[in-house]
Chains A and B, each alone.
Chain A
């Protein structure tokens, strides 16, 4: 039975004292000593005091500065590039163009379609074309405008539907496209049909359908892309980069630079926000490396905000037509969805996005029949990619809106309709065989309803004031690695020497989500030491064992499990030493509170340090390795790997808001956000993730959109790209639902991404409750809301 806690019930009483990382005696979960404590993140003090070192803060002797020249055309042949004037500028040390690196790369092995810099043609406004390394940033900035590029424009593909057309090879943005549509600009098409969809719609008691449209959005992380590349005296490349996935960058660098991987070290710098936007291997990483190899000097490359927007990888602009069928008991009987997503110029994670936009609609409700036609297209716009809630967020808005419409049609409370359709715990979904383990969504929704006084409010608030619900689920780590191989997905090493410090090595990237703290908690819990002893080294590929990094919300589940296993191996060594010291059998020892305690004779105990020094006799430092590999899951049809995860999180959100019927402005008043994360290893971090997800989701719901003028991004800055300010963000009550997962570390599942999707439909459904209009376009900006209100008024006047 899941348990409920969260910000509405408990208050944050921890504090940071002078940089000493302490939990101030906050209680742990029952049966644990460290797990379940409200622990401030390990790097928090560094961040708030400015002590943290980001790549742009780094300085090296002889360091050069780089600037990139970006394409001024969106689709054009490059007739000529003349770099001679730039090279002649005093202080310029090197200029590189596409001719300096021919090998293509990309995060997915099936979409190796990126070049370090454009060759022969450019495919979006902003694509890197050339770059300069110079003694100062000023000189570099001046030099790029001395590079002369002559273009011959080609027809631009700016609307996703234009990319469906057959075109001549010259107008294909990439050589390699979807096999089923060889003459188009379709990157990937996914067609799936399971169960009797036609029959379900024929026999339905209620059918709901609508067409939806979503603008593209950006991650809006605080730190712009900034890196330092250094081809050092050992003829090795050192790349300092705020990567979510250092390992994939490591692989891509090796391919592009034609170096064995061991001659490259990727060093993850402090990440000033990622949200999926720092998880591709990037062109600027290749460019700085090329410049450093050419000059044999360190090269810093810091982008400005506009360049960061142009580098992109945000959520796909999406158009979809979806329909759902229900029987007379309100049971969902079929979903039929047809979705086009605009991938922009590159493949990026897009093949996965194309699948996720469909298959992740097979929850959190039981889906008896399912049809999906999905297309991801190339266009001459900023590349789309993976962003928090990857591939699930936009279709989730569609299905949750349709659920609400169905509730109206069937005369049911929208929460009641959802309760009738939730997936049970411990089951497999009917067709994709997604393995559902623990599932606390019923308890979550019930608690959100109770706290929000849903039954008193829904349908009963005055005009302009409304309440709405949205539910979701999400993968807790993709079960299959991007590069097919038999290596574990996460490996963690632990080293403890006589100083008593516990060093944990991992390549799971701390990107602000708290992964270092999580690893420390998992290790400290198992070996019973204090958190202060544990030092996590998760930055450098030379010392850290491979971990696939921070994407697909996988780190707690996978790296957490690897850390736990490594710690168990250390514990066995300490137990053996305690046994030698006390004469009690090794399996009789418990580890907690810096002591190793005999279970049957609690007065027989040794300190952690005594056990450690005992264990070190003759062998020196203790070392251990642990790893995690997802078990075999799923089924066998083509594409059935997509969406597989060892576990799934579930969430149920309720939003109360006001709509100004004269201006169309939406003012969220309060959000009750219930999220089932398995066990909350660190409730403080879980609440932070839920609140952050809600804030980010509200941005997409109400104000954020990438706006274009033709092929050019119109709002590539933080004044015109409108992330909600604190004044725009309501009180958020994070409700933690704990349903222990059998396989997650100490029962944990994900909480970093799944909590984003439900807020957007909760807002849309609350708008309906407030003013009676359905929003089918996201963001739900004031002009769109007002247009819907005015259209409804006109229709009503006509009707009278």
Chain B
């Protein structure tokens, strides 16, 4: 008791069609609930609760998993134990939260995880004491970031910089995953990297009434080397303070393709696609990280220690973590480089 849930109506559809209809009906005032491990703690803190909660727990259509697609309702523990998905994805899932939470938490919940911030993930009493923030009930950001506008750093407390803390999002982005949504308007498939954009409040482009159905992997995701590294204060339970996912394709000892995705350093995952084929479309002024600024030439070069160092340096230089989750930003920034270097060295030296 004592951390009380606000009152809401719980809808428990048994099929996806029913869920879509409910989502359309309550489009202006509803949240989707899967494992509840993120949504319910936020509700207890009085953070942006809605009057309708649609539970996706009983929808069998969301629970399918195979080598190329993972349903939104598949639990993290089922991803962790699945033998067909790339090892990097299973490994990534295996380090989210704690064993108990992974029994409830789902892929969909992890991808739709609300952004986190010291000034947001607090009780009503706490936020009332300090003054509310942009992300809940307020009109200013307490992190007061330096925002890059046209190459100039300016202070701006009108943009939310809450940190995107999903682990599976950057890992799946590195592997080129696509997400499929349904709504009463129909089905839509979008590259996961294009799905995420915006500030700490908007954070992704979900159209009204849309429900995530599944994530699909391109064929090449199984053919490249891929891996995941997470830094967190403790060995269990904690959100990442830096997460690095990478997909590497080598032609002999030369780089054919390299995608590095960072988690927990910005308002969305950040993809460094060294093939530069998929530049992110996000409005530049929202984002502190510009992965393509001074991006080094990597493709076609031999992946020796020096090149790995160049890549790690670039990732570290561009990363701009903020002082709004545990561990200091300068430290986390440095760790972006360390983790990238370690991950790429492992991917090069251990075949898959």
Q: A125 within 8 Å of B by Cβ?
A: yes
| Interface residues on chain B, number (Cβ under 8 Å) | 32
Are B1 and A782 within 8 A (Cβ)?
A: no
Say whether A5 faces chain B, with CB atoms less than 8 Å apart.
no
Other-chain residue from B2, B129, B231, B233 in contact with A722 (beta carbon distance below 8 A): B233
In the assembly, what is the distance between CA of A224 and CA of B331, in Å?
Answer: 33
Q: Are B2 and A224 in contact (CB under 8 A)?
A: yes
Report the nearest A residue to B341, measured CB to CB: A662
Asked if B338 and A720 sit within 8 Å, CB to CB, the answer is no
Residue pair A709, B331 in contact (C-beta under 8 Å): no
A725, B234: Cβ atoms closer than 8 Å: yes
Chain B residues whose C-beta falls within 8 Å of the C-beta of A70 in the assembled complex = 125
| A663 interface neighbour in B118, B123, B231, B234, Cβ under 8 Å | B231
Q: Is B1 a contact partner of A137 (Cβ separation < 8 A)?
A: yes
Residue from B3, B98, B327 in contact with A725 in the complex, judged by beta carbons closer than 8 Å: B98
A304 touches B2 (CB 8 A): yes
Indicate whether B306 reaches chain A with its CB closer than 8 angstroms.
no
Given contacts A137-B4, A783-B327, A783-B331, contact A725 B231 (CB under 8 A): no
Q: Does B238 contact A (CB under 8 A)?
A: yes
Complex Cα gap A305–B331 (Å): 29
Residues A728 and B234 in contact in the complex (CB < 8 Å), given A141-B4, A302-B2: yes
A716 within 8 A of B: yes
Cβ contact of B126, chosen from A663, A712, A722, A725, cutoff 8 A: A712
**B113 within 8 Å of A by Cβ?**
no
Contact A725 B237, beta carbon cutoff 8 Å: yes
Chain A nearest Cβ from B105, distance in angstroms: 14
| Secondary structure of the B contact surface, majority rule | loop
| Cβ distance B32 to chain A, nearest Cβ, rounded Å | 23
**CB 8 Å contact bits of B310-352 with A (1 = contact, 0 = none):** 0000000000000000111001001100100010000000000
In the bound complex, how far is the Cα of B149 from the Cα of A691, in angstroms?
54
Please name the residue on chain B nearest to A68 by beta carbon. B125
In the complex, what's the smallest C-beta–C-beta distance from A170 to chain B, in angstroms? Answer: 22
- C-alpha gap A714/B231 in the complex (Å): 21
Say yes or no: is A272 at the interface (Cβ < 8 Å to chain B).
no
Contacts of B129 in A (CB 8 A): 72-73, 125, 712
Residues of A695-726 whose CB lies within 8 A of B: 703, 709, 712, 714-716, 719-720, 722, 724-726
Query: In the complex where A72-B125, A709-B118, A725-B98 touch, is A703 in contact with B4 (Cβ < 8 A)?
Result: no
Complex Cα spacing A703 to B234, Å: 8
B236 at the interface (CB under 8 A from A): yes
Using an 8 Å CB-CB cutoff, how does the interface string of B84-121 with A read, 1 for contact, 0 for none? 00000000000000100000000000000000001101
Flag B111-154 by CB within 8 Å of A: 1 or 0 each: 00000001101011110111000000000001000000000000
8 Å CB interface, A652-692 against B: 662-664
In the complex, which residues of chain A have a beta carbon less than 8 angstroms from the beta carbon of B276?
A: none
Q: Across the interface, name the chain B residue whose C-beta is closest to A308.
A: B2
Q: What is the bound-complex CA distance between A719 and B326, given in angstroms? A: 10
Residue A523 at the chain B interface, CB threshold 8 Å: no
Residue on B with the closest CB to A69? B125
Partner of B328, one of A72, A141, A727, A783: A783
Nearest Cβ on chain B to A391's Cβ, whole angstroms: 28
Q: Does B235 count as interface, using CB distance less than 8 angstroms?
A: yes
Q: Count CB-based A-B contacts (< 8 Å).
A: 75
Residues of B within 8 A of A303 (CB): 2
Asked if B130 and A709 make an inter-chain contact with CB atoms under 8 angstroms apart, the answer reads: yes
Would you call A137 and B338 a contact (CB within 8 A)?
Answer: no
> Known contacts A306-B123, A720-B326, A782-B331: does B234 contact A138 (CB below 8 Å)?
no
Task: Report chain A residues within 8 Å CB of B238.
Answer: 719, 722
Assembled-state Cα–Cα distance A220/B318 (Å)? 38
Interface residues on A, range: 35 or more
Complex-state Cα separation, A302 to B239, whole angstroms? 28
Known contacts A720-B326, A783-B331, A786-B331; is A725 also within 8 Å of B4 by CB?
A: no
For A710, the closest partner residue in chain B by CB is: B130
Residues of A near B119 (CB, < 8 A) are 709
B130 to A, closest residue via Cβ? A712
B94 shortest CB reach to chain A, Å? 12
Per-position 1/0 for A119-157, Cβ under 8 A of B: 000000100000000000110010001000000000000
* Contact assessment for A304 and B237 in the assembled complex, using a CB-CB cutoff below 8 Å: no
B2 contacts A137, CB within 8 Å? yes
A610: interface (CB < 8 Å): no
- Report A43-80 CB contacts with B as 1/0, cut-off 8 Å: 00000000000001000000000000010110000000
With both beta carbons as reference points, the residue of chain A lying nearest to B331 in the complex is identified as: A783
Interfacial chain A residues near B326, Cβ < 8 Å: 715, 720, 722
Q: Scoring B residues 219 to 253 as 1 if CB is less than 8 Å from chain A, else 0, what string do you get?
A: 00000000000010111111100000000000000
In the bound complex, what is the Cα–Cα distance between A138 and B7 (angstroms)?
A: 10
Contact assessment for B4 and A138 in the assembled complex, using a CB-CB cutoff below 8 Å: yes
Of the residues A73, A703, A726, A786, contact of B233 by C-beta under 8 Å: A703
| Closest chain A residue, CB of each to CB of B41 | A719
Minimal beta-carbon separation of B130 from chain A (angstroms)? 6
Closest to A306 in B: B123
> Chain A's nearest CB lies how many Å from the CB of B43?
14
Known: A137-B4, A712-B129. A722 touches B338 (CB 8 A): no
- Asked whether A306 lies within 8 Å of B126 as measured between CB atoms, the reply is yes
CA distance A724 to B233 in the complex (A): 9
A526–B293 CA distance with the chains assembled, in angstroms: 80
Which residues of A have CB within 8 Å of B239?
719
Expressed in whole angstroms, the minimum distance between the Cβ of A587 and any Cβ of chain B is 59
Alpha-carbon separation in the docked complex, A781 to B130 (Å):
27
Determine if A727 and B236 form an interchain contact, defined as CB atoms under 8 angstroms apart: yes
Smallest beta-carbon distance B244→chain A, Å: 13
Docked pose: A195 CA to B239 CA in angstroms: 53
Chain B residue nearest to A725 in the complex (CB):
B236
Residues of A within 8 A of B124 (CB): 145
A-B contact pairs, 6 of them (CB 8 A): A72-B125, A663-B231, A663-B335, A722-B233, A722-B234, A782-B233
Query: Which residues of B does A touch, CB under 8 Å?
Result: 1-4, 98, 118-119, 121, 123-126, 128-130, 142, 231, 233-239, 326-328, 331, 334-335, 338, 342
Given A141-B4, A703-B234, A781-B233, 4 more contacts at CB 8 Å? Answer: A709-B119, A728-B235, A782-B327, A782-B331
Q: Which 8 A-B pairs have the closest CB atoms?
A: A727-B235, A783-B331, A72-B129, A304-B2, A725-B236, A727-B236, A662-B338, A304-B3
